[in-house]
Every structure is written in C-alpha cells, then in structure tokens.
C-alpha cells in the first residue's frame, strides 16, 4: 500500500472488469481507495484492472460473482469482510440487456434474466452494504452509487423496453433507499449514463449502436466510460456530502 495516498477505505464495484466499472476502479485507486471488483465471466479483464490498481499503490481483490445469484453476492461480501477494510462505497454497476426486440415478442425467461441482474442484484448488494455501513448497526456510514440509465426516462421502444424498465426500478430504488438510510450516515445516488462506448451494446446485437445514435445526442457524440466514472466518483466522495436521492444524468444532453 502506498502511504503517500489518502486512505479512503474500500470501494466495491460490481461488474468492475470492463467499461464504466473498470474506469471507476482506476479512478478510485488514484483517489486512495482499495477496490474489490466483481466480474461475471471475464477473469482476465478483471485481473488486468486489479494489476493497474496495485500499480498505483492500492490493494485490489477480484471475485467471480453473478449478481443475479444470491449465493454469489454472499460470497462477494464475505470477501469484503475478509479484506479487513472498512467498506466505504458500493457501486452497483453490473447490468445486462438482451437482443433488440419489441415488447410483444419478449418472453418471461428474458424478463427474469434482465430483472434478476439489473434490479434484484442491485437490491441484494445494497442490502449487504447497508448492513456494514449503517451507523445503527455499528458502521461508519458510506455511499452507494447505482448505475441507472437515461433509458429509464426514454423507454427504449423497439429495442429493450425491459432494460429501460429495470433502470426505472433502479431510479425508484435509489430515491427510496436514500430516504430510508439518510440518518444512518449513508448517501444513495445514481448516475444515468446515455450512450456510452462500452461492450454492453454487443449484448443487444448492435456493437456499433453508439455511432448510430450519436446524432440524436445534443452534444453530437457518444460518451466515454471515464466521463461516467468521474460522476460516480463525485457522488462517492465527500464533495457531494449534502447530496442524496439524486439521479445524475451523464448523457450529453439527451
């Protein structure tokens, strides 16, 4: 550990091996956090992020965990406890979507997959974080940052209304949990990215989607993962100490 860096505690980032999660992890390390990353399947990518964290003098742990699986979340937070570090921040970043499809063609199985990861996984991770952060439970407070999407207010018609609906649930969850735990020293906020250059678009069957829709963005371009990560880091930091229950759009004006 590099003693020249401020010790900001431990940040847990789900889906931390790539995209927005990876960008957040690297900024967190530079800000003095040790980082625990979860990944669903790409162990190599998560390991590379961990190596970069350790290169700047912070500690990193990687945990294979599918957030749609409660047992995996339990294992993730068991690792958190075993680090011996104070949990300061949870970033609920892991998410999924499926191939573009109108609602009339969706199946119950598809809905269950999307909702289990995007909604239930975020709830369960937040539950574990609150148990460790809440002042009334012996914790020292902290911050939870949920990664939502501007799809929650745009609806994503003819593409993935199910994904948009799952992010709408995250918006409501953010507001409700923020009010519930405010007196326990925990702030809860969300970022709502617009079209960002990440691998998630390939899951929808259109890896080049950002370039296709960039013309709809008032700023005329897609966003970069680090631009979202900077917003996450602000919400996680004491610079936003009077901010909770807030939905922060990072969408180029869309």
Supply the pTM of this predicted model: 0.95
Confirm whether 163 is a catalytic residue. Answer: yes
Number of residues that this document lists for the chain:
254
Cα 94 to chain centroid, rounded: 6
Provide the residue-wise pLDDT of the chain in tens; the chain has 254 residues: 444 557 899 999 999 999 999 999 999 999 999 999 999 999 999 999 999 999 999 999 999 999 999 999 999 999 999 999 999 999 999 999 999 999 999 999 999 999 999 999 999 999 999 999 999 999 999 999 999 999 999 999 999 999 999 999 999 999 999 999 999 999 999 999 999 998 776 676 677 888 888 888 999 999 999 999 999 999 999 999 999 999 999 999 99
Q: Say how far apart CA 165 and CA 152 lie, in whole Å.
A: 6
- Residue 84: CB atoms within 10 A of its CB come to 8
At CA 39, angle to CA 175 and CA 66, rounded to 5?
Answer: 70
Q: Say how far apart CA 123 and CA 188 lie, in whole Å.
A: 12
- Residue 44: CB atoms within 10 A of its CB come to 9
Domain architecture of the chain: domains with CATH: 9-250 (3.40.50.720)
33, 163, 197, 242: the catalytic one is 163
- Residue 228: CB atoms within 10 A of its CB come to 26
Q: What residues contact 183, with CB distance under 8 A and at least 6 apart?
A: none
Place of tokens 């390991």: 47
H or E segment to which residue 116 belongs: none
């Amino acid at each position: 550990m590099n003693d020249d860096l401020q010790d900001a505690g431990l940040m847990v980032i789900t889906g931390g091996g790539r995209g927005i999660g990876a960008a957040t992890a690297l900024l967190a390390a530079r800000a003095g956090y040790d980082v625990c990353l979860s990944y669903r399947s790409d162990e190599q990518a998560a390991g590379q992020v961990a190596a970069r964290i350790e290169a700047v003098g912070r500690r990193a742990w990687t945990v294979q965990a599918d957030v749609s699986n409660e047992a995996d979340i339990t294992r993730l937070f068991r690792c958190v406890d075993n680090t011996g570090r104070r949990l300061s921040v949870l970033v609920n970043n892991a998410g999924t979507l499926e191939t573009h499809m109108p609602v009339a063609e969706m199946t119950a199985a598809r809905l269950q997959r999307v909702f289990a990861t995007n909604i239930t996984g975020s709830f369960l991770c937040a539950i574990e974080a609150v148990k460790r952060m809440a002042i009334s439970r012996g914790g020292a407070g902290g911050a939870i940052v949920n990664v939502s999407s501007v799809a929650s207010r745009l609806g994503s018609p003819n593409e993935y209304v199910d994904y948009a609906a799952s992010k709408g649930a995250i918006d409501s969850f953010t507001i409700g949990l923020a009010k519930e735990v405010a007196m326990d020293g925990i702030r809860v906020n969300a970022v709502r990215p617009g079209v960002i250059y990440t691998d998630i678009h390939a899951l929808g069957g259109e890896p080049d989607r950002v370039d296709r829709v960039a013309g709809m963005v008032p700023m005329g371009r897609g966003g970069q993962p680090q631009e979202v990560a900077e917003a996450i880091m602000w919400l996680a930091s004491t610079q936003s100490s009077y901010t909770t229950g807030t939905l922060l759009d990072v969408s180029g004006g869309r």
